[in-house]
Amino acid sequence: MTPAELTHALRMADPAISRFDPLERIIYHADFNRGHSGFTATIGNYEGTLDTILPDMNFLSPQLSNYPMWDTGTAGTMHGGYALKLATEARAGAVSAATKRLTMRSIGLIRLETWFGIKSEATQMVLTEHDVRAFGILFDIQDRSRRLLPRLRYHNASDGRLIGKWQIKTDHPKRHQIGPSGKTASIGHYAPVGYSDVPNGDQPLCHNELPTKMNWHYLSVTFDLRTMRFVEFRCNERVFDRDLPPPFELPEWPNLTGLLNTIFFVETDVDKRAFLYLDSVLFSCTP
């Protein structure tokens, strides 16, 4: 048996890892039964005072949840007792985001995988599948010449109408200088504008039949740090790997060389909290 075959066999024998399809080197496996695993609140930059945070860049912290339901009790997660839960404020357009802060280990392919569920707060006794506006993942990357925030978004619904379409953000937002030192800036890049549709990116997801029923979905996103382009992404049985729009680029920022953050986010379309649940997350790369 070759080393590659042995590695594959060991991974397939581990139920926690065999649910994923990682690249050669696993950087982290976040199993939220053991805590937050380094995922923390995403907030806008500030200098001197918290009042300098951009108004739409101050998000709630992620929580650990065992997915309690008022009608059938506590469900737990796909593979244990606790998931990471991102919850928006109960305000149309509100966003919640969670970040794990890393730096680059090598320049090659990276892959972010998760098993996730989406739901709005069950305040009505009817399915409200159009309450969650969108959810997605993004990388926050800077090499020696440029910064990128490549972002994949599933546009679930708008104004009470299901959309069900994958998008990539291609237009960059305005940069705001924060404070007088010249070291700190911020951009409101979570605004729901500047997206391009993924070709043939329509994909309905399972919302089930009740406001409390939630199904787990698989998502995998592969990005090339050499070309700074998406290579492919997968959601459940669908694979998208052709003509993916390029992400927007920014000039190099101070103090961020080697940055490689992994981020998840969720948006609500109504005055009700939207939830994104992450059962577990695996991040891998080529050596």
What average pLDDT does the segment 16-27 reach?
94
Asked if residue 2 is part of any domain, the answer here is no
What average pLDDT does the segment 67-76 reach?
91
Q: pLDDT by residue (tens digit) across 140-193?
A: 999 999 999 999 999 999 999 999 999 999 998 888 888 888 888 888 889 999
Asked if residue 14 is part of any domain, the answer here is no
What average pLDDT does the segment 103-126 reach?
96
- Tell me the pLDDT band of 204, cut-offs 50, 70 and 90: very high
Q: What is the pTM of this model?
A: 0.95
- Out of 96-110, 166-180, 203-217, least confident range: 166-180
Asked if residue 226 is part of any domain, the answer here is yes
Per-residue model confidence (pLDDT) at position 265: 98
Q: Determine the structural domain holding residue 184 and report its residue range.
A: 23-285
| pLDDT, averaged across the chain | 94
Alpha-carbon span 196 to 210, nearest angstrom? 32
Asked if residue 5 is part of any domain, the answer here is no
Per-residue model confidence (pLDDT) at position 94: 96
Asked if residue 49 is part of any domain, the answer here is yes
Q: What percentage of the chain reaches a pLDDT higher than 70? A: 100
Asked if residue 3 is part of any domain, the answer here is no
Asked if residue 87 is part of any domain, the answer here is yes
User: What are the Cα distances from residue 79, in Å, to 29, 63, 173, 216?
Assistant: 13, 17, 38, 10
Asked if residue 58 is part of any domain, the answer here is yes
256, 223, 231: which is closest to 145 by C-alpha?
A: 256
Residue 60's domain is classified under what CATH number? 2.60.120.200
Q: pLDDT by residue (tens digit) across 250-280?
A: 999 989 999 999 999 999 999 999 999 999 9
Per-residue model confidence (pLDDT) at position 179: 85
For the chain, what is the domain count? 1
What average pLDDT does the segment 45-59 reach?
85
